[in-house]
Homo-oligomer: A and B are copies of this chain.
Amino acid sequence: MKSPPRYPQAVNGILSVALLILTVILPSFTLAQDVLPSWNDTAAKSRIIDFVTKTTTEGGEGYVPPDERIAVFDNDGTLWSEQPYYFQLGFVLDRVKKLAPQHPEWQEKEPFKSVLANDLANVAAGGERALVELVMTTHAGMTTDEFNKIVTDWFASAKHPKTGRPFTDMTFLPMRELLDYLRAHDFRTYIVSGGGVEFMRPITEKAYGIPPEQVIGSTIVTEYALVGDVPVLRRLPELDFVDDGPGKPVGINQFIGQRPIFVAGNSDGDYEMLRWVTAGKQHGFAMLVHHTDGEREYAYDRNSSFGKLDKALNDAERRNWLVVDMKADWKSVYPK
């Protein structure tokens, strides 16, 4: 084999200058102007920037090598809205209506009857059992490929009951900027949500820049099977893993295998995840999105049936968790 070519010294010189421009000068110009533009210049924004600066400044006391820069985000109420109900419940309701013609018996059978009558209070009265039956009816009994298409089609046409916008437009712009900002500093960003993992994966790349393998969520049992000579994965009506509350640190450990250093949540379902992240040797950064803006979004916390925030709010100050006041800290809420 031939020996590798030598580049003349002039080319090496050019190379050095170009590398310097690319890696040192350009990024710092970009940063100074564009960091978190949808955040107001309040303490919340400063604390986030301070944390990222500290963990990414080589030689500094709080430096964390890129391998360990993992950030986890709850989804419902943290990255997008969760009122008047979790968007996945919107999918369940629409799906029941769509399947109803094939199930005439649902007209007289709860909880389907109440769904078809748009009587959400009565659905809720059926408790967890009714909800699980609705979820299994709409989420199981097909292959993973088929479910992916059902979800994708639903997101393409469904609209939020209050704003009339597609659900994927109801993501929080400041949080999307935060995801981008962290990734620009070599953080790997994950979703850790109580929602179904296969409900989220079809849209997380487009909505948040988060690929399927960085989405952790609740799962039902799937089973490998052959249809003729074609292998498929069948979704069975059986809960596998509930990625909520104490399940969140369990899911993080199972999927990621190391402790994140940044966590964002908005409810008591995120409490244990915040505890877990902030108890690590790196003293991870935790933030709670506090829904204080009844005008631009929704205002709720301690008594909400979706996204109840009580215990975590009580702990925030003494544990040094940042509470983001949506009304005061965010310049805008949704993308234009």
Contacts and interface: CB of A to CB of B under 8 A. Distances in A.
Interface of A: 1, 4-5, 7, 11, 14-15, 17-19, 21-22, 29, 32-33, 67, 70, 144, 188, 197-198, 201, 205, 211-213, 215, 219, 222-224, 230-231, 233, 246-247, 249-250, 253-258, 272, 275-276, 279
Contacts of A257: 197-198, 201, 212-213, 215
A249 B231 contact: yes
A276 B222 CA distance: 14
Given A231-B279, A276-B231, A254 B219 contact: yes
Contacts of A246: 223-224
A5 B249 CA distance: 45
A18 B7 CA distance: 12
Which of A7, A15, A17, A223 has the largest count of B CB atoms less than 10 A from its CB? A15
A188 B32 CA distance: 32
A254 B197 contact: yes
Copies held by the complex:
2
9 contacts: A7-B21, A15-B22, A144-B253, A213-B255, A213-B256, A222-B253, A223-B250, A224-B272, A231-B275
Contacts of A32: 1
A287 to B, nearest CB: 18
Given A212-B258, A219-B254, A279 B21 contact: no
Nearest to A233: B253
Contacts of A253: 144, 222, 233
Given A4-B33, A14-B17, A18-B14, A213 B275 contact: no
A235 to B, nearest CB: 10
Contacts of A275: 231
Given A197-B254, A201-B257, A219-B254, 18 more contacts: A1-B33, A5-B29, A7-B21, A11-B21, A14-B14, A14-B17, A15-B18, A15-B21, A18-B18, A144-B253, A197-B257, A212-B258, A222-B254, A224-B272, A230-B279, A231-B272, A231-B279, A255-B255
A233 B213 contact: no
